[in-house]
A and B are shown apart, each in its own frame.
Chain A
Amino acid sequence: MSRLIVCLAFVVAFVAWTPGAGAIIVTQLSPTACLAELDSYAPSSSGWAIQKTFHEFLFDSSPVILVLQIEVEDGDNVIAIDELVTNDTGVTWTDYHLILANFDGTPIDANAAFDPASVSNLAFADVAADGEQIFLSGGTVGPDAEFSLEFAIDTDGAPGTGFLLKQYATPEPVALLLLAAGALTLRRRRPF
């Protein structure tokens, strides 16, 4: 009986996973996990659930850009993504950017594009979106806070299609100054 229940659970899970999700492989290309990391990605009832955490900003104020390679293994015309983003950087974010790019770095139009109408979140009031990028502003994400973000990528569904999804946040200017001051102090204390 218990074996039957386990088998049924597998069947239900498989049926729940297959529709609308296709199959994608997500790989983190940059940076190393101590700066920002892809925590997990898994199929969900609405598409794909992705969790990520940003740990640090660079001392010179350059944004830490999390670059994910997404490979479409099984054709699907819409990749719906529900993200949970955690701010572990210790400073407040004032905006959030998402960019789609081809491997060649050019804006993507041919085989994948954001669906601007699909973007929703509760942290930022202002949303500017087109096929190539999503820019969220008019809100903040404080230290240790997280926010959820939903969006969809329309693709041509061709198996073997690959593209890059880039994301980064911008710290508020005051936090940036403190960060720079802290970095200077650290450098002065170093014996070399």
Chain B
Amino acid sequence: MRQAALVAALALVGSAPAMGLTWQVTNPDPSLAGAGIVPIEFTEQVLEIEIHKWWLQTATDGGTGEVPLVIQFTREPNDPDVLHIIDEIIFNVSEEEWFDYHVSLLDGMGLPVSPSDPSPDVWFFNHEVTDNWQMIGGIHRFESKTVTTLVTDSTRAVAFDWLDTNGQGVPGGDWFGANGPPYNQLTLTNLYIDMSQVPIGEVFYLKQVPTIPEPASVVLLLAAVGLWRGVRRRR
């Protein structure tokens, strides 16, 4: 009953203004995953927001297809050059545990920003402070972080890939109760986006997706983790 009410409420989610910037979830269907934005501070220099996300399913029905969540941002007049996502609070309300998580920027055409593009319209900066947690300042969910930067400028990033290397992961759970947040919660902090080159009225996209490793990949992943631990012990 409670779940049904929540799902019904989530189905109403569409687009809403976040101060100047406007946003809209363009993928997937609300029955699979959703997101919403809370504006925090809006100055001439930076727009600070929080994002809430939830996955009801990690894989598409009857298959192993991923469920990427894509938010379209439209730059409005008077928007500052910097979008600072202070934190993202993400609930895994699916039945699968997550062992990795991926974040990337897409350009106005909806295509991944290429690391070989010397002058993209949008990019992450301050990527060294971007982090993941169960609760901010507590334990990390994923220990391994890979940052994809521009070939010509390592201070500009276009994607983050987090991988679980110590068996923590993000378990699936419920909306409430012992198996509800923060048990099944992932929190990202400090995603800084430079949107100074996005023309007013144009769009860019933020894409995030947890993936379900195939059985063979799981074996390889476990082997890699074992190897990594062995190397650490020898040191």
Contacts of B16 in A (CB 8 A): 106-107
- Asked if B5 contacts A104 (CB within 8 A), the reply is no
Report yes or no: A60 in contact with B36, Cβ–Cβ below 8 A. Answer: no
B109 within 8 A of A: no
> B115-123, B156-164, B182-190, B213-221: which lies at the A interface?
B182-190
From residue B152, how far is it (CB to closest CB) to chain A in Å? 26
- For B36, give its contact among A35, A69, A106 (CB under 8 Å): A106
Q: Is B198 part of the contact surface with A, judged by Cβ < 8 Å?
A: no
Main secondary structure of the interface of B (DSSP, over half): strand
Residues of chain B in range 1-30 having any CB-CB distance to chain A below 8 Å: 1-2, 5-6, 9-10, 13, 16
Instruction: Give the nearest-CB partner of A71 in chain B.
Output: B176
Stretch from A85-93, A95-103, A136-144 forming part of the interface with B? A95-103
Interface assignment of B230: CB less than 8 Å from any CB of chain A? no
Stretch at the interface among A6-14, A75-83, A113-121, A158-166: A158-166
With an 8 A cutoff between CB atoms, is B51 at the interface? yes
Contact of A30 among B6, B37, B129, B136 (CB under 8 A): B136
Interface membership of B99, Cβ < 8 A: no
In the complex, A32 has a CB within 8 A of chain B? yes
For chain A, give the interface size range: 20 to 34
Question: Do A110 and B9 contact each other (CB < 8 Å), given the known contacts A29-B181, A31-B136, A69-B181?
Answer: yes
- Is A32 a contact partner of B175 (Cβ separation < 8 A)? no
Q: Does A148 contact B (CB under 8 A)?
A: no
Given A104-B13, A105-B50, A30:B38 Cβ within 8 A = no
Cβ contacts B30-51/A at 8 Å (1 or 0 each): 0000111110110000001011
B182 touches A29 (CB 8 A): yes
* A105/B37 in contact, CB under 8 A: yes
Cα–Cα, bound, A35→B187 (Å)? 15
Report the separation of the CA atoms of residues A79 and B136 in the bound assembly, to the nearest whole angstrom.
28
Interface residues of B in 126-143 (CB under 8 A from A): 129, 133, 135-138
Q: Which 7 A-B pairs have the closest CB atoms?
A: A105-B36, A105-B52, A32-B138, A31-B136, A104-B36, A160-B2, A32-B137
Residues of chain A whose beta carbon lies under 8 Å from any beta carbon of chain B? 25, 27-32, 34-35, 60, 62-65, 67, 69, 71, 99, 101-107, 110-111, 158, 160-162, 164, 166, 168
Q: A27-B182, A104-B13 are in contact. List 19 more A-B contacts (CB 8 A).
A: A27-B180, A29-B89, A29-B181, A31-B136, A31-B138, A32-B138, A34-B138, A35-B136, A60-B190, A62-B189, A101-B36, A102-B52, A103-B10, A104-B9, A104-B34, A105-B37, A105-B51, A162-B175, A166-B38
